Amino acid sequence: MKHVLFIEDDKLFRDWIAETLQGEVTLESVGTLAEGLARLSNGAFDCALLDLNLPDSQGEGTYQRLRSTFPNLPIVILSGALDEGRTKRLYAQGAVCCLCKWTHAKSYDLLRTTLLRAFKKAPTWTKLHMAMTECRTLCAA
């Protein structure tokens, strides 16, 4: 079973996601990026589920701080702060999946299925992104 850290400041939403994924993944939740970074430093996680707008970090910088601290960690974005441009930039930076809370939360089954697929493909996606980044670096040299 995948071990996922959910970094989300809305306690009710965290509880709803935990209920949605119950029995499918082992989910731990924290409410700030600082708590998430600390928890990831102290435990082995297969994936992070990340909201971009947290009390201590906003927007793409939230993703970038998590990515730079844990470059091998697969990260799935679940945020209300997504538009087409931001989503493309996050995918280019290695995000496994970008889901809009308000679109996907309307359908329990769609959200559950999408998250489980993202968690399943996460390790492969992250390795592929890292290899492509290394290749670009070598080609640019």
The CATH number of the domain holding residue 104 is: 3.40.50.2300
Q: How many angstroms separate the Cα of 12 from the Cα of each of 21, 104, 131?
A: 14, 16, 38
Least confident of 6-10, 29-33, 64-68, 108-112: 108-112
∠ CA(73), CA(76), CA(81), 5° rounding? 130
Query: Is residue 5 within 8 Å of 39, Cβ to Cβ?
Result: yes
What is the domain range of residue 20?
A: 2-140
Q: Is 110 helix (H, G, I), strand (E, B) or coil?
A: helix
pTM: 0.82
Domain count, the chain: 1
Q: How many angstroms separate the Cα of 26 from the Cα of each of 46, 69, 120, 130?
A: 10, 22, 13, 26
Query: Is residue 112 within 8 Å of 76, Cβ to Cβ?
Result: no
